[in-house]
């Protein structure tokens, strides 16, 4: 079975103390995790060391960076390299979140470099894709997302692409309380999988986890995660509330 993943994206929220309490509360719960059912916490950069420490004895819980820099090392003041992340035990990174694409002008080409450099350090990229509302209204979402995949991922060989996790996050559903319906999510996830199948074959396509993100909460997670091509979620606001996120973990297939 493909890995089912509940990933928390705290974005730029919480104090260190609030983050510690939240992690402790969630980790204490029995989420019925396994090699195929895992949890990832994408915490703000200053809390990564703390988070890695908290999950040290939890084999199915991982810590992610919310971003990485595209260069290996050097005079890039303020940036964080993948080697630094790997050296503290971070093994996942969110790449190409729509907020970074929008506010920091991250292009598909730059994101291709970031994905590649993550893989070189055995950091699993959680690659975000998804369309804005005008694209959806013009029914252009499939072509838009295909282009994001082509320009950032499809230069990778099959043995690398299987290490990437995809997060489909329609921009119009992020932080808006407006979720894509589970059918809309399924439709896009099936489309994404079909693009992988066309490029890499069915076996590769069927092994890639595709998460849904955008106003996932305890009350809708089961419905969305229940769809055949939805392999869990990337969760913003609801990941900041212990009971909500615990319920979301329990809603994994």
Q: What angle do CA 188, 191, 193 make, to 5 degrees?
A: 110
Compute how many other C-beta atoms are within 10 angstroms of the C-beta atom of residue 84.
17
Structural tokens at position 134:
């005008």
- Asked if 174 interacts with ligand 13P (CB under 6 A), we say yes
Decide: is 208 part of the binding site for ligand 13P (CB under 6 A): no
Binding mask 127-166 for ligand 13P (x = CB under 6 A): ----------------------------------------
Number of neighbouring beta carbons within 10 Å of residue 143 = 12
Considering beta carbons, is residue 141 or 200 the nearer one to ligand 13P? 141
Could you say which of 5, 52, 65, 216 contacts ligand 13P (CB under 6 A)? 216
**What angle (nearest 5°) sits at the alpha carbon of residue 210, between those of residues 135 and 3?**
170
- Please give the structure tokens belonging to residue 156: 């990778």
Q: Is 96 in the site for ligand 13P (CB under 6 A)?
A: no
Is residue 92 annotated as a catalytic residue, yes or no?
Answer: no
Assess 215 for contact with ligand 13P (CB under 6 A): yes
- The DSSP H or E segment spanning 222 is helix 218-225
Question: Using CA atoms, how far apart are residues 209 and 48, in angstroms rounded to an integer?
Answer: 24
* Helix residue ranges per DSSP H, 121-181: 133-137, 141-152, 158-161
Residues 50-69 that bind ligand 13P (CB under 6 A): none
141, 170 in Cβ contact below 8 A?
yes
Residue nearer to ligand 13P on the CB measure, 83 or 242: 242
Residues near ligand 13P (CB under 6 A), total: 14
Residues forming a β-bridge with 126: 94, 165
The CB-of-99 to ligand 13P minimum distance in angstroms stands at: 7
Nearest approach in angstroms of CB 94 to ligand 13P is 7
Q: How far apart are CA 171 and CA 142, in angstroms?
A: 14
DSSP three-state, residue 64: strand
Residue from 213, 229, 244, 248 touching ligand 13P (CB under 6 A): that is 213
**Whose Cβ is closer to ligand 13P: residue 19's or residue 236's?**
236
Is 211 a binding residue for ligand 13P by CB under 6 A? The answer is no
Binder of ligand 13P out of 22, 52, 112, 235 (CB under 6 A): 235
DSSP class of residue 38 equals E
The residue range among 49-57, 68-76, 140-148, 235-243 that interacts with ligand 13P, by the rule CB under 6 A, is 235-243
- Say if residues 106 and 177 touch (Cβ distance below 8 Å): no
**Is 135 in contact with 141 (CB distance < 8 Å)?**
yes
Active site residue 97: yes
Q: How far is the CB of 19 from ligand 13P (least distance, A)?
A: 16
Active site residues: 97, 169
Give the interface with ligand 13P as residue ranges (CB under 6 A): 9, 97, 169, 174-175, 213-216, 234-238
């Amino acid at each position: 079975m493909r890995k089912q993943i509940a990933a928390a994206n705290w974005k730029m929220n919480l104090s260190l103390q609030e983050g510690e309490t939240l992690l402790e509360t969630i980790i204490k719960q029995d989420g019925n995790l396994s090699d195929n059912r895992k949890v990832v916490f994408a915490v703000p950069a200053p809390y990564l060391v703390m988070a890695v420490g908290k999950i040290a004895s939890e084999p199915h819980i991982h810590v992610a960076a919310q971003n990485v820099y595209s260069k290996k090392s050097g005079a890039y003041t303020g940036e964080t390299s993948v080697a630094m992340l790997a050296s503290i035990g971070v093994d996942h990174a969110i790449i190409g979140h729509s907020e970074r694409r929008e506010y920091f002008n991250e292009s598909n080409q730059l994101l291709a470099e970031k994905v590649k450099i993550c893989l070189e350090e055995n950091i699993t990229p959680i690659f975000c894709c998804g369309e804005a509302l005008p694209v959806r209204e013009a029914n252009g979402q499939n072509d838009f997302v295909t282009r994001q995949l082509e320009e950032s991922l499809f230069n990778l060989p099959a043995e690398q692409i299987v290490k990437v996790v995809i997060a489909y996050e329609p921009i119009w559903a992020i932080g808006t309380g407006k979720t894509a319906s589970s059918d809309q999510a399924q439709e896009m996830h099936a489309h994404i999988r079909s693009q992988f199948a066309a490029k890499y074959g069915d076996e590769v396509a069927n092994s890639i986890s595709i998460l849904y993100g955008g106003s996932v909460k305890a009350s809708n997670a089961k419905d969305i995660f229940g769809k055949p091509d939805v392999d869990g979620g990337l969760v913003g606001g609801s990941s900041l509330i212990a009971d909500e996120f615990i319920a979301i973990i329990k809603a994994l297939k």
